[in-house]
Structure 1
Amino acid sequence: MVMQHVEETVESAGGLRLYYQAWRPPQEPRAVVAIIHGIGEHSGRFRNLVNYLTARGHAVYALDLRGHGRSPGQRGHLLSWSEYREDVRAFLAKVSAREPGRPLFAYGHSMGGLITLDYVLRHPEGLSGTIISGPPFESVGVATPLLVLSARVLSLIWPVFALEVPLEPEALCRDPAVVSHYLKDPLVHRKASARWAVEAIEANVWVKDHAAELRLPLLLLHGEEDRINTAAGSRQFFESVSFPDKKLHLVPGGYHEPHNDPGYEQVLQQVEEFLLSHVPVRAPSWDTRSTA
């Protein structure tokens, strides 16, 4: 099966033209998944997910947020978290226009999980569900008192000041080839501005405080051995969600990127089962053999 691949832009707040790409099966898709990536990465780091889902008849769209990948803006910088909400709003509107009437799911990984939850808590309309992977509710070695104080001071006097993101590349995935590719990827960066850090801290607090207000079906994925964002944070958030249509899948021995870890097929099977359980009318006769 040959998937269709397109690369385009969408206009967001401030007139920024954000890059996104899409992969579609040759037939009409069963469901549509819109990916929001993590800090410092980009839309091209989800090929396992793309290959798996398109082989099973789903369309996948992925955005490069402002300051990331092929989109413009200072790397890892924004003035307000609301800019990310506008990025997601514009992106989902574009996807909906491209795929009218099809079940649409927002998929956020790591920081993208925080961005996605912040958005869907405010604007669940038009979505059939959300999939969140490795969200940063309890990050390791990031929100130390000294770093938080430094970020808050710098955010006021020098908001664009670039801070090094204390991320351990080897903790991303148990596959050394994935880690090596990440380190060599010219579209990856490990910087975030002081203003970004403060906005991320405040968004994190807000999302956790409003977990009980979630009104969308939720699949929450987390590697049990994630050393970047601990699984304990996801467990606590999941318990705070009162909406009954929710599922937590903890990956035994898994690191930060369940979609790239060895054995990712089992994780992606959970994703597709979640999609199909929330698609109103199933399309007929698809070949479900993996080409990933």
Structure 2
Amino acid sequence: MTQASESFFSSHDGVSLFYRHIAATASHNEPKALILFHRGHEHSGRMMHVASELALDDCDIFAWDARSHGHSPGDRGDAPSFGSLVADVEAFIQHIHQQHHIAIENMVVIAQSVGAVVVATWLHDYAPHIRGAVLASPAFKVKLYVPLAKHGLKLMQTVRGNFFVQSYVKAHYLSHDEERIQSYDTDPLITRAISVRILLGLYEAANRAVNDAAAITTPIQLLISGSDWVVHHEPQHRFYNQLGSYIKERHVFKGFYHDTLGEKDRHLAIDAMRGFIQRLYQQPPQTVNLRSAHLHSASRQESDTLATPLSLFSPRRWYWQSQRAGIALGARWSEGLKLGQQTGFDSGSTLDYVYRNTPTGRNKMGVLIDQNYLNAIGWRGIRQRKIHLQILIQDACQRLHQENQAIHVLDVAAGHGRYVLDALNGDILPDSIRLRDYSDVNVQAGQTLIASRQLQHMAQFETANAYDRHAYQNLPTPPSLGIVSGLYELFPDNDLVMQSLQGFGDAIASGHYLIYTNQPWHPQLEMIARCLTSHKQGEAWVMRRRSQAEMDQLVAAAGFEKIRQLIDEDGIFTVSLARKK
């Protein structure tokens, strides 16, 4: 094994993070990579023994220092959010792909403890096409030992803001290996503190990854330490049992402490990893076909359950009925609730109201109710989605400009068109913008918005059906940037969505771009289904979530390849940029 080189890469927010790289010494037809993610409190140096002991010399080895750990910058044990750590993983993978010329499908990630939760969340939220992942003792649920500790930390965070918690874990609770124990106690780069926002963010992300593990289809090897003092076993097993992966295996190592890959008898775990990785590379990349998930999948079962009326004797029925009554009462004073009941809580009019984010009511109580309504987690995510749409619209315009291509925008379900028009604040402006919507109300409002901004010279708004493939043909100006936001999430049928995507495929030339959104997760699905109405003549708003892997497969079937993705901190809404192959 050659000596590791040391370097930095620029992450999603411009921060430079440290990593080590060991080049492969054995030749291979296609470059391959193993990417190592360390435990919480630690750094890449404490993972390099894994590279040596695996002895897979035909693979490049990469290992990072997570933000605020080791040689990477930041207040020790802190980050802007847990989501920023997940975005760091995506940036690291893209850096390896672009700078070291290794295909993402030829990468295997190995992650331990907190690092394993970060990676599991990344697999759920970004659906990367990696070859596989090894997760060792993922910290899905940390043993805090103090009753109601999590609730207490939330309360203290509300009062004090962000603060730091010192780790109670001693080295002799991590491993039986005396050398590892001593090195942990004397390593100056060990970070013993963790910020409360990262600790609580860890819990929230773990909940998403475990409860929705069916959305993860990456080949997974799960390594569990049998005598773990630090994390609970039950969520690890539940995660494994619910995985959507065709290829998965689980190993429980009796007597192992939490540092699975640093234990005294770690050769048992190393041997299992080596065999798993070699088997993955001996066969083509495995993909679970999700294009028929609308017919049979965990999300289909979930939506069917939400669409099923509750029993007259169910306490939940009476609970949700009381919630509906509260919404109806609040709509007497709150303009947002009133608009939602009139046009549907998923309508373009409602979304435009949420974008404007100005609490309005008939009186002070109505304004207060409206403020609470607009601050709901879903609406916060919608506004972040708008920001991400604008970022990727500007990104696509920049790419087209650099490629000396005209910028012709087509949005097929624009609502009032506000998020597209608000994106026109950069140095590079489109040559033309064609906005469409099925609703005459939205089209009229969008035309008014265009006129108010004096953009008639470049923008027009027309009525059209986004699901009519013929409506994408014979356009006066072929689009070089297609946009579809918030539409596919409202319709569960993948065959219907494919009509729209194939329309984009017909209209957009090779090398040009498509921006699309998705909703892989939502913590309030039952409340929405039981209490809110949709634009479909007052029907219940029952959603079928699409995993990011499912949505990306549909887009790929229409001839596009995802090249960039953004997601909000709660993991609810994604915005992706794809290029026509």
Question: Do they fold alike, i.e. is TM over 0.5?
Answer: yes
Task: Give % identity.
Answer: 21
| Structure 2 residue matching 1:61: 3-state secondary structure | strand
Q: Which residue of 2 aligns with 1:50?
A: 51
Partner of 1:258: 260
Mark the CA change 1:125 to 1:201 in structure 2 (over 3 Å): closer, same or farther: closer
Q: Name 1:13's counterpart in structure 2.
A: 12
* 2:113 corresponds to 1:114: no
**1:244 shift after superposition:** 2.6
C-alpha deviation, 1:12, in angstroms = 1.2
CA distance in 2, matches of 1:144, 1:70: 35
Matched residues in 2 for 1:281 and 1:120: separation? 21
Distance 1:54 1:143 in 2: 42
- Native 8 Å contact 1:33 1:60 kept in 2: yes
Which residue type is aligned with residue 196 of structure 1?
A: I
**Deviations 1:147-189 (Å, cap 9, x if unpaired)?**
2233213433444311112223211111122111101100101
SS at match of 1:13: coil
- What is the Cα deviation at residue 18 of structure 1? 0.4
Q: What corresponds to 1:174 in structure 2? A: 176
CA distance in 1, matches of 2:229, 2:201: 22
2:569 matched to which residue of 1?
none
Q: CA deviation at 1:8?
A: 0.5
- The answer to whether 1:87 aligns with 2:88 is yes
Distance 1:143-1:65 versus aligned 2 partners, 3 A rule:
farther
Unaligned runs of 5+ in 2: 285-581
Partner SS for 1:46: helix
**1:76-127: per-residue Cα shift (whole Å, max 9, x none)?**
1123222012210111112223142371012111000100000011223231
Map 1:139-288 to 2 at 5 A. Answer: 139-141=142-144, 144-145=147-148, 147-280=149-282
Q: 1:135 matched to which residue of 2? A: 138
Q: Secondary structure at the match of 2:235?
A: helix
Deviation, structure 1 residue 58: 2.4
Contact 2:25–2:57 under 8 Å retained in 1:
no
Secondary structure of 2:245's partner? coil
Matched, 1:34 2:53: no
CA deviation profile, 1:167-214 (whole Å, cap 9, x unmatched): 232111111221111011001011011211221121121111111111
Aligned-partner SS, 2:79: coil
**C-alpha spacing 1:144/1:93, structure 2 compared with 1 (3 Å):** farther
SS in 2 for 1:10: strand
Question: TM-score w.r.t. structure 2 length?
Answer: 0.46
Alignment partners' CA distance in 1, 2:196 and 2:126: 27
Q: Deviations over 1:206-263 (max 9, x none)?
A: 1111111111000001111111123333222211213231100111211112221122
SS of corresponding position for 1:215: coil
Q: 1:71 deviation in Å?
A: 0.5
Structure with greater contact order relative to length (CA < 8 Å, sep ≥ 6): 1
Deviation at 1:142, TM superposition (A): 5.5
Structure 1 pair 277–78 and aligned structure 2 pair: CA distance change class (3 A): same
TM-score (norm 1): 0.89
Greater than 6 Å deviation, 4+ residue runs = none
Q: Residue 154 of structure 1 contacts residue 195 of structure 1 at CA under 8 Å; is this kept in 2?
A: no
Measured after TM superposition, the shift of residue 56 of structure 1 is 4.0
RMSD of equivalent CA atoms? 2.0
TM-fit CA distance, 1:52: 1.9
Shift of 1:48: 2.5
1:259 counterpart SS class: helix
Q: What one-letter code is carried by the residue in structure 2 that aligns with 1:47?
A: M
8 Å CA contact retained: 1:134, 1:222:
yes
Higher share of residues assigned helix: 2
**In structure 1, C-alpha distance between the alignment counterparts of 2:282 and 2:23, rounded to whole Å:** 20
Number of corresponding residues: 280
